[in-house]
Amino acid sequence: KKAKLPYIKSIHDFDFSFQPSIDERRVKEVLSGRYIHNGENILLLGPPGVGKTHLAISMAFEALTQGHQALFITANDFIAECQKAEKQGLIQRIIKRYSRPELFIMDEIGYFAFDELSAHTLFQIISRRYEYGAMIITSNKSYVEWGKIFGDEILATAILDRLIHHSTTFNIKGESYRLKEKKKAGIQP
């Protein structure tokens, strides 16, 4: 509950046969939790509906089961938290809160642009965690588009450098699972 997972999804509910671009063995390797001990990052990239959030939650849940502390937030909620904290003079508290846990999960980078404050706050968190605290990041945008998301090419590059340096990336391609379920129900997308 303290990890603020939006809901529980298990890896056992994930149909790997529907998503052949995901190597099941690499996911199982991640679930073993070694990346947490090594302070490494997991990047889940791909279009909407391919299972990024499902996998991120499964990985976070597994980490909690193994006794690690984890903290989950969507990029959008993070931006809102930063704006609220700024008004109250509490940005340092945000930086501390998200720098501390062994695992920090940020879901859905790319749907909304970061303003300058939230971009810089995230950069400080990522800098503090670099080579020390593991992260799971999901995004629907390719790296070339991150400059636009953060409104600053240099900052986006600095963020990406640190995220990617010690990381495992899953580039998920393919069809949305949501659309598949709609089609099955006979609903035209």
Site of interaction with ligand ADP (CB under 6 A): 9, 13-15, 18-19, 48-54, 177-178
Q: Which is nearer to ligand ADP, 51 or 101 (CB)?
A: 51
Report the alpha-carbon distance of residue 144 to residue 79 in Å, rounded: 21
* Nearer CB in complex with Mg ion: 9/52: 52
- Which CB, 5 or 91, lies closer to Mg ion? 5
Q: How far is the CB of 126 from Mg ion (least distance, A)?
A: 20
Nearer to ligand ADP, 15 or 25 (CB): 15
**Residue 53 binds Mg ion (CB under 5 A):** yes
Q: How far is CA 93 from CA 57, 89, 96, 189, in A?
A: 25, 9, 5, 44
**86 sits in which H/E element:** helix 75-87
| CB 180 to ligand ADP: min, Å | 8
The least distance separating Mg ion from the CB of residue 153, rounded to whole angstroms, comes to: 25
The partner in contact with residue 67, picked from Mg ion, ligand ADP, none with C-beta cut-offs of 5 to 8 angstroms by kind, is: none
3-class SS letters over 28-74: HHHHCCHHHHHCCEEEEECCCCCCHHHHHHHHHHHHHHCCCCEEEEE
Query: Cβ of residue 46: shortest distance to ligand ADP, in angstroms?
Result: 6
Sole window of 10-18, 47-55, 60-68, 93-101 interacting with Mg ion (rule: CB under 5 A): 47-55
* 37 vs 168: CA distance, rounded Å: 14
Residue 177's binding partner among ligand ADP, Mg ion, none (Cβ under 5 to 8 angstroms by kind) is ligand ADP
Q: Return the HEC string of 116-144.
A: HHHHHHHHHHHHHHCCCCEEEEEECCCHH
CA distance 186 to 189: 9
Q: Which residues bind Mg ion (CB under 5 A)?
A: 52-53
